[in-house]
Structure 1
Amino acid sequence: MKQLRKTEWRRGYPIKKNLALCAWGLMALAGFAGILSHPENIPSLAASVLALAGAVLTLPRLLRYYRTTYHSLPALNRRLTKEEQEELLENENFETITELKTESLRWTDIAESAHWLRINGRYIPKELVILGGAEVTFNIMNRDTTPVIFVYATGDTVKIDLGVQASVQKIRELNAYFRSRYHIFPGQADGKKTEELCSIFREIYTDYLKEKEPEKEDAVLAKLVKDAGELRQKCIEKMPPYLKRGDRKA
């Protein structure tokens, strides 16, 4: 079985897809059945209309979730076919990053291959990541889990839940590892600034694809996964100076 398929089954995505479809079907069926069987019962009719409205409103989201080929390959799963995604990881051999699996992350899946990071069952192309890292979260009940957010040179943003709440010291250690080993610039929690930066990267990536014509996007991405130096440099040149310095307070 191919690597992506194994990860999908370990994370339970095929089962989650079918459960979501069944739940939606039951909600839609309950709505239709209630309207047809008890049209004179006002409370029952209202509940049935609400159930049917809920089914209609959630249908687009359900379809997007169900049609997503590999949830374990975020962002790129929207740009590539199922076969193209499988090919990217076919010959990659992953090894656990043991130095990071300490304290709260000792049970978290953190591994890497020549060109990819795997974090909690999600695959990240190391060459395409420009900035990002783990974010400190605060919750009055101390139940928040730590997210890791990456911004790609394609303009895509990927958020991965570590599934645990990492300490501030562990987050610093994780981000220091990303910076020193993969040359990833520190990210920022400001959503508006991040979106502006993503917009700039998307424009650069679109122009880059035009320069590579008549090559198709799948072929370009396959090369970028191995070496994105040219595209990275174009993106870094357009980044605000404070991000290049790693100044998160600017």
Structure 2
Amino acid sequence: MCIGVNMNYRIYKGQTLLELMITLALSAFLLLMILSFYSQSQRQNQHILLQLQLQSEIHKMLQLMGKDLRRAGFRASHARVLESELGNNFFLFEQEGRHKSIAIHAMSQAEKNCVLFFYDGNADGCLGKHKSGICLDGASNATANIQQELFGYRLVNNMLQTRATYRNSVNQQCQQQECRSYLEAAACTANSGWTALLDEQDYVIDSLHFAWQGEKGVEIQLSGYLKAQPDIHYETSMLVPLLNE
């Protein structure tokens, strides 16, 4: 008796070494492309975030200056001051010429980068704080804390600064010539009485410029960059109406 055996043979064909090497090379190339794209995307996102950070800070500073400047020259009416025979003391500080309560000065030949101004911040009818409606003592000022209503902004050593005048740095009993000097150019170059508005370790302000726009407006131009990445730069401007001049 013959017994027949039916055996089915399957032939398995694997990858050759060359095919495996090509597959690995293509996979490595694709992975490299993905990593490169991811890295580039991360750098672009970081650049955008830093640009927005700088833009936000510069706009914040511009809005701060604009809000302050809009108040320049504000003089409130106060019943006690109006009843006083001597009246208010604003004329002691007012400047000669067209603009009485605001002065723009150039601290460098390149641009006018300092502005000084006053306004009645506490709305009591005088510059400084009066006592019982008395703002004058003959030809001298009689109010206290006049430094709190003297304002200013300037650019020094690539840093935006605001005026922070100390009480003992001004003569509270000043007469007209001395009172006016608090808005003159020498006040812009004072070594004390100013404070930085930004962290100088992070930001560099390379331009600040104030320019008259007609009789009732001032244009502020401001630009700066990140100290760690100078290529991230931003500049902008604002027109500020002077409604109290």
Scaled by the length of structure 2, the TM-score of the pair is 0.24
| Greater share of helix | 1
Q: Which has the higher contact order (CA 8 A, sep 6+)?
A: 2
- The two structures have a TM-score, normalised by structure 1, of 0.24
More strand by share: 2
Between Structure 1 and Structure 2, whose CA radius of gyration is higher?
Answer: 2
